[in-house]
Amino acid sequence: MNAIFNADYFQLNIVLQSLINGLSNGVLYAFLALALVFIFKTSNQLNFAQGEMSMVGAFVVFTISSLLGVNVWVAMLLAMVVMFLIGALAWRFLLKPVPQTSSYAPLIVLLGLFLLFNAGAAAIWGTGTERGLSPLPNGLGDQVELLTGVPVVHITYFTLGGIALLLVTFTAIELWLNKTRMGLAYRAVTSNPESATYLGISRTQLLTIGWGLAAAIGVFVGVLFSQQAGILHNNLLINGLLFGFAAAALGGFDSLPGALIGGLVVGLLEATVPSAINFLGPELNVAVALAVIFLVLVLKPSGLLGSAKVVRP
């Protein structure tokens, strides 16, 4: 058994701490998956630029905080307004003109947006690194001890704060989509665009707002990824996007609760599998995300909580 599995890993405190570390990563992946699923539910498109939009959002927070000298939370609120406008304009002037009769054209434009945001960030803020943003307590003593021993099992305030922020955002989106007139209009546009048009519902207006909201949500994603990494640079979410897609695929691209579950599961797998198996190392954690995507596409393409039939571009 020791030849394959790492026997030192299978100690209670080590396993528990590994699971908690995975929970911390899982919150970030769930947040990113939430933004991806929100876009898919409102426009039937997979936003390959979501990670880069989130990265730009973090840079906007950094810039506002630096120039105006305001608290990072105030900077985040202002950045959400900026990113709402950027996301809305991106859909209105770059995605809307693309013929929807082609399944490849929107995909190419979305990949182009990915490159545009990445290159734009490099041009504006450079390719160097900046100090990570810190909206949540994350110092050496900012943690709650759960179990004594070697090592001490603890959970950080960063993880607890991330969980709270994720649940608040998830609840707000769910209530908005299911309890408001605009949210119900979104569902009508997504399920039957033709009928929605006959009822006088403006698809253009709704999708413009939807893309703006997804970009605004991305501010939370970018800032939390920046705080966890301790740095801010234009490639901050290159790998994170892959884990976000794995989480969305696992939970189901049209299921908001699935995004939460998928993110947490992917985070736990990333934290435990490479440590438990000897021939896998932390540098192969991306392989875990790829394996999740592959297995989901083969075994259950709709995901754990997704609809049986999901149209993907």
Share of the chain above pLDDT 70, in %: 86
**Cis peptide leading into 151, omega within 30 of 0?**
yes
List 155's β-bridge partners, or say none: 144
Q: Has residue 308 got a pLDDT over 70?
A: no
Residue with tokens 């189901």: 252
pLDDT > 80? residue 27: yes
pLDDT at 2: 46
What is the residue type of 20?
I
Give pLDDT, residue 213: 94
The predicted pLDDT at position 275 comes to 66
Nearest partner of 208 among 86, 105, 313, judged by Cα: 86
Joined tokens for residue 167: 């649940």
Tens-digit pLDDT profile for residues 243-285: 999 999 999 998 999 999 999 999 988 888 766 665 555 666 7
Q: Where are the beta strands (DSSP E) in the chain?
A: 130-131, 143-147, 153-156, 231-232
| pLDDT at site 121 | 96
Q: Quick check: 170 and 33 in contact, CB under 8 A?
A: no
Task: Lowest mean pLDDT of 133-142, 162-171, 232-241, name the range.
Answer: 133-142
Residues 196 and 250: their CA atoms lie apart, in Å, by 30
184: Cβ–Cβ under 8 A, 6 or more apart, which residues?
A: 177, 178
pLDDT tier for residue 8 given thresholds of 50, 70 and 90: low
Percent of the residues in the chain that have a pLDDT greater than 90, as a whole number: 55
- pTM over 0.85, yes/no: yes
Average of per-residue pLDDT values in the chain: 86
In which band, very low, low, confident or very high, does the pLDDT at 3 lie, cut at 50, 70 and 90?
very low
Q: Rounded distance, CA 290 to CA 280, Å?
A: 14
What pLDDT sits at residue 10? Answer: 57
Q: Mean pLDDT, to the nearest integer, of 121-125?
A: 96
